Amino acid sequence: MEALITTLGWIGIYAPMALGAIGSIIGCARAGQAACGALLDTETGHGRFIGVSAMPSSQTIYGIVIMFTLERAVTIDNAPGLFAIGVLSGFALLWSGMRQGDACASAIHVSKSKPEVFGLSIAPAAIVEGFAVFAFIFALVISGGIPA
């Protein structure tokens, strides 16, 4: 049983990066597909479409920082905390990356037809990013209470 609990602790250390990366992959792919479609339909503004399609990549960065914050020797005493913080923050980053990709794809779709609303159209993606930042900061703060 101790080996299982310790294994879960190690999973918790790696989970924020892995799950955040999966969310970033899915989000960037969704937004990137929209950007590719927009490239065919527009004559200008291609750089901003590509830039917006990269927005969900930040969840991987947040996951890496959380992973390094959680990194320590895994013991029976700290494994449950590592698992809980790592997996829950990882799922928050996964979900936000996916949903941010959808918001970015929508921004690309609307701004290819009406370029003047580009700034406003990325606001939903920025709001989703804010929730990823909340999960990121919460994980950093609460990880300080896990025994080293």
Check pLDDT > 90 for residue 122.
yes
pTM attached to this predicted model? 0.93
pLDDT band of 137, cuts 50, 70, 90: very high
Please compute the mean of the pLDDT values over residues 1-28 and round it to a whole number: 97
Please compute the mean of the pLDDT values over residues 79-103 and round it to a whole number: 98
Structure-token match 């830039």, residue found: 51
Residue 49 CB partners (closer than 8 Å, separation 6+) = 34, 35, 38, 39, 42, 108, 111, 112
Check pLDDT > 80 for residue 45.
no
Please compute the mean of the pLDDT values over residues 83-99 and round it to a whole number: 98
Residue ranges per domain, the chain? 2-143
Check pLDDT > 90 for residue 79.
yes
pLDDT band of 125, cuts 50, 70, 90: very high
Check pLDDT > 90 for residue 46.
no
| pLDDT number for residue 112 | 86
Candidates 5, 10, 16, 1; CA nearest to 87 is 16
Please compute the mean of the pLDDT values over residues 118-123 and round it to a whole number: 93
CATH class of the structural domain 2-143: mainly alpha
User: What span, in angstroms and rounded, lies between the C-alpha atoms of 2 and 4?
Assistant: 5
Mean pLDDT of the chain: 95
Query: 45 versus 122: which is more confidently predicted?
Result: 122
Residue 143 CB partners (closer than 8 Å, separation 6+) = 66, 69, 70, 81, 85
